[in-house]
Amino acid sequence: MRVSRRNRRRRRRWQPPEGVTTIATVPPHRTVRVMRVAGGRRLVQRLAALGVVPGASIRVDRASDPALIAVGHTRVAIGRQAARAVEVEEER
Nearest by Cα to 23 from 15, 14, 32, 11: 32
**Omega cis (within 30) before 28:** no
Distances in Å between the Cα of 1 and the Cα atoms of 7, 24, 46, 61 are 13, 42, 44, 53
Q: How far apart are CA 87 and CA 81, in angstroms?
A: 12
CATH number belonging to the domain at 16-90, selected among 1.10.3860.10, 3.30.230.10, 2.60.40.10, 2.30.30.90 = 2.30.30.90
Compare 10 and 92 and report the one with higher pLDDT: 92
Calpha distance 52→70 (Å, rounded) = 10
pLDDT tens for 30-87 read 999 999 999 899 999 999 999 999 999 999 999 888 999 999 999 999 999 999 999 9
Which pLDDT does position 12 carry in this prediction?
62
User: What pLDDT is stored for residue 20 in this prediction?
Assistant: 79
